A and B are shown apart, each in its own frame.
Chain A
Amino acid sequence: MVVPILFGVSVIVFFLMRLVPGDPALVILGLRATPEGLAAIHRDLGLDLPIHRQYIHWLGNFLSGDLGRDYRSNEAVTTLLAQRLPVTIELTLLSLLMSTAVSIPIGVQAARKPKGWADRAADAIGLVGISVPDFWLGIILVLVFSLGFGIFPSSGYTPLSVGLAQNLSGFVLPSLTLAVGLAAVLVRVTRSAVAEVMAMNFVRFLRAKGLSEPAIFYRHVLRNAALPIVTVTSMQFGYLLGGAVIVEQVFDLPGVGNLIVTATLERNFPVVQAGVLIVAAFVIFVNLAADLLNLLLNPKMSEADL
């Protein structure tokens, strides 16, 4: 499943970039453009070849790690991505951590006690969390915690090498911003997954076997509810990366999303192309990893289903 999807994605990305009006050679040379110069650059970039050969050429380069060069700075796109990826990864992982830490316990408790406090909290988080625009939430968090209380920085990134505390404090507000939408989805999924398992016949049989409620719950119910929760979390990863694009803008974090947006505004296409493809590949591989995890958790699934 993964390879054909990746192939499709790469074809779309490649041809989208060919749709770009204008000649990239003109962008590179600008006012210094001469017919000879343009032709030379066309040869260099392989733009004089037929389109399918261009694609194969591009894909070959891509797979061997050559993602092209930044039109403006002439830096290798690979280098740029290597600088930016860690920021995005840290941001998404931290928000994944934050949202699971809140939503899974609340969702579980909500399923155990319908109409209890957790159930109401789950309703509220589930509804407001998916309705709030994340960039606005980020702005409000800055307004309150940076401008108001002065606890966390309002923007910017401190590398991990400078210090863990400074690094993390810069990530608190962005990760929180990004976590809210995911938490909303996860809290709903957790609640319904746990409630569904608790209503299953085998739970009644476990009671009849004489197992205690905690043993039934922690050993059997959670184990079975974990499956849909893992699946949905991984499916939401794409959403998280999309959100990261916006959140990186709000907090001025130098991640891949920020790179893509800046490059888009500057019409710096090799960077956009590589960035989009990397992000899509990332999403596909996270889904693959989730499938593998499901294989471990779900005895009904076999390798053939992948």
Chain B
Amino acid sequence: MSEKRQLQPRSGTPVLLRMAARSRAVTAGLAIVGLLALAAMLAPWLTGGDPSEMDFNTIMASPSRGHLFGTDNFGRDVLTRVIFGLQVSLVVAISSVTLALIVGVPLGLFAGYRGGWGGAAIMRMTDVVMAFPAIVFVVALAGIFGASVTLMVLSIALIFAPIAVRVTAVASSAIKNELYIEGAQARGASHTRIMALHILPNAFAPIAVQASALMGIAILFESAISFIGLGVQPPTPSLGLMLAENRPFMGNAPWLVLGPGVCILLAVLGFNLIGDGLPKLFGRSARS
């Protein structure tokens, strides 16, 4: 309780500063993610503006002031392509995680709070979907419907939704036995109202932790699927696709695989740092 109270904004100190003081991991993660997201949003202004612009005078040039990450076999600036690729990664990750939460959280609330045969059916369905190795599932879907960004978002969301269901269900079935829920029931509040006003806010911490971890996994999935040719299609720049395209030349130009790879690593690391540090900020309730 005391930890929860400390989360309430106090006037005077900005929220961000107090968070920084309480968890170095979250601060570092937010800094990394924030910088990368900023770069991705400002991509057209930060870079030359066209990730596909070729320059046959500078083919496979090593990193220099003009091309911090070097250039590729078409003379395209690697940094520019990395930033635009990051944009795609973040869009895929944010939309698939959001979609998974929109579907999974209400189902999880229902399964955890109401239970019954409906809840049991929901949980068995998550068992089935989670039996598939995620990548295999996404690959198979890409094969059936043809590779595209939209499909990738949908299939990653489909893989993540059961995870969101589980986390929400576990949290809300623990919360539903708390006295204040019984109190609300005794006062005659409807189930929907209890779920929305009492269960959901208290299940927020574990869901947020999970969502942060899922963002990292989504970025990994996006790049891996694009790497094997079943995700983002050229000429759209993608970090995974770039690695596949640049790999044949890495013996002579290692920067071609360093820049995109480090960028993926950093983005995922950022989200994982946030996910690791959040439980400390939220207190015990977030650890599941």
Contact = CB atoms under 8 A, between A and B. Distances in A.
Interface of A: 1, 4-6, 8-9, 12, 16-17, 19-21, 127-128, 130-136, 139-140, 143, 147, 238-239, 241-243, 245-246, 249, 257, 260-261, 263-265, 267, 269, 272, 275-276, 279-280, 283-284
Interface residues of B, number: 44
Interface string B121-153: 000110111111111110111111100000000
Contact of B229 (A143, A263, A265): A265
A246 B227 contact: yes
B132 A136 contact: no
B139 A12 contact: no
B89 to A, nearest CB: 11
A147 B141 CA distance: 35
Nearest to B257: A139
Contacts of A139: 243, 247, 250, 257, 261
Contacts of A246: 135, 224, 227-228
A7 B252 CA distance: 51
Contacts of A128: 265, 269
A135 B124 contact: no
A6 B132 CA distance: 10
Interface string B221-233: 0011001111000
Nearest to B270: A131
Contacts of B129: 12
B151 to A, nearest CB: 12
Contact of A279 (B125, B133, B247, B251): B133
B127 A264 contact: no
B140 A276 contact: yes
Interface of B: 124-125, 127-137, 139-145, 216, 220, 223-224, 227-230, 240, 243, 247, 250-251, 254, 257, 260-261, 264-265, 268-269, 272-273, 276
B10 to A, nearest CB: 31
12 contacts: A8-B125, A8-B127, A130-B216, A132-B268, A139-B247, A139-B257, A238-B131, A242-B136, A261-B230, A269-B144, A279-B133, A280-B136
A269 B216 CA distance: 31
A249 B128 CA distance: 26
Nearest to B128: A8
B223 A133 contact: yes
Nearest to A2: B131
Contacts of A131: 216, 265, 268-269, 272
A169 B214 CA distance: 34
Nearest to B287: A192
B60 to A, nearest CB: 15
B128 A267 contact: no
B141 A5 contact: no
Given A4-B124, A5-B127, A265-B230, A127 B257 contact: no
Given A249-B228, A265-B229, A16 B136 contact: no
Contacts of B264: 133, 136
B220 A279 contact: no
Nearest to B159: A242
Contact of A143 (B135, B230, B257): B257
Contacts of A6: 131
A51 B23 CA distance: 56
Contacts of A8: 124-125, 127-128, 131
Given A133-B264, A140-B257, A276-B136, A147 B251 contact: yes
Given A136-B265, A143-B254, A279-B136, 20 more contacts: A1-B127, A4-B124, A16-B140, A16-B141, A21-B145, A127-B276, A133-B223, A135-B224, A136-B243, A143-B251, A238-B130, A241-B133, A242-B133, A245-B133, A245-B136, A245-B139, A246-B224, A249-B227, A264-B139, A265-B230
